[in-house]
A and B are shown apart, each in its own frame.
Chain A
Amino acid sequence: MASNATYKDRQLLAVIGDEDSVTGLLLAGIGHVTEGADAQRNFLVVDSKTETSQIEQAFRNFTEERKDIAILLINQHIAERIRHSVDTFADPFPAVLEIPSKDHPYDPEKDSVLKRVRRLFGE
């Protein structure tokens, strides 16, 4: 179980998504850029030209390296591209949440958490 200190300083939300989702969420005010020389953003815009390895690396960065992120939002169709990483990541912090995007409606069948829910109830 995560100790007290580890999730008390997790305050930010991070997002990996297509341009519209990221823009909307940034308008809501979740965007954060760390100060200093190696400024890090807590969002990644994915378009058709983005490499899967780049998404993968951002996912790892948000889930493992950065300790200030409480919730990671990721578009479902992007999560689909790195499905293996999303499914293997089982830690409670940060919470990985799959969200629908404008062009891809939400499909509960593909969600890694809902899949576990289904498996538990034997459906």
Chain B
Amino acid sequence: MSGAVGREPVFPTRQSLGLMKSKLKGAETGHSLLKRKSEALTKRFREITRRIDEAKRKMGRVMQIAAFSLAEVSYAVGGDIGYQVQESAKQARFRVRAKQENVSGVFLPQFESYTQEGVNDFALTGLGKGGQQIQRCRETYARAVETLVELASLQTAFLILDEVIKVVNRRVNAIEHVIIPRTENTIKYINSELDELDREEFYRLKKVSGKKQRDTAAADAEILAARKKQEAEEAAAGGSAPAKPEPEAEAADVLGENEDNDVIF
């Protein structure tokens, strides 16, 4: 009876049959719900992958433009400003904040960039010359970083969704290939076991009634034999007090002391 998946360790009773049936129903509902969730997530996932691909290409272009504007700066300033910039960086002006987006029960973070007002570490950079170029370069890089932030949120969503889809699919498969067959197996087992009990009970009753019939028949035959014997005795006695033993035999018959014996198996 038990296949590869086995069955749950339960006693074959009607109560556990009911339990198993409701469990099977629950598993089927859960399976269809999870399947739908997985499909919704996968759809989202494919969309995100496509957008990542696009965003990565866009990033390549944007960074190229930004690098060019930096080259303009070093030409205008006439020297390297890298060291000065690195030393004057103190407080981040460009920050991100994470928002959450809910996709069928999964929280996907979304980065949103904002600039902190009033913080300017580079007020003196390019004071001598090339101030305009530096200003333009800053704007270009700020735009580039915005693209990068967008890409980063896509990438984070990609990683989280990847993980969640794996988990959901694992659950769907577990329900489909383990829990449902096992519950079905258990129900089959309980049913066959209950049928077996029914047959046993029926056979036992049949056996009891057969035994009772046999006993009754034996008792009847005994009584009949006794009566015949009595009649024969009476005939032999030749009519002496014929009415006297008759009621005695009758009384024995009424009591029926041979009937309804306990049947011992």
Contact = CB atoms under 8 A, between A and B. Distances in A.
A113 B52 contact: yes
Contact of A24 (B67, B115, B160, B163): B67
A84 to B, nearest CB: 18
Most-contacted residue by chain A among B57, B96, B97, B151 (CB, 10 A) = B96
B5 interface: no
B107 to A, nearest CB: 7
B70 A71 contact: no
B145 A1 contact: no
Top-4 shortest CB links A-B: A31-B89, A29-B93, A28-B141, A32-B92
A106 B96 contact: no
A16 B248 CA distance: 122
Contacts of B82: 19-20, 22-23, 45
Contact of B109 (A92, A99, A101): A92
B41 interface: no
Interface size class of B (residues with CB under 8 A): 35 or more
Interface of B: 49, 52-53, 56-57, 59-60, 63-64, 66-67, 70-71, 80-82, 85-86, 89-98, 100, 106-107, 109, 111, 115, 119, 121-122, 125, 134, 137-138, 141-142, 144-145, 148-149, 151-153, 155-156, 158-160, 162-164
A102 B212 CA distance: 106
Contacts of A20: 67, 70, 82
B92 A29 contact: yes
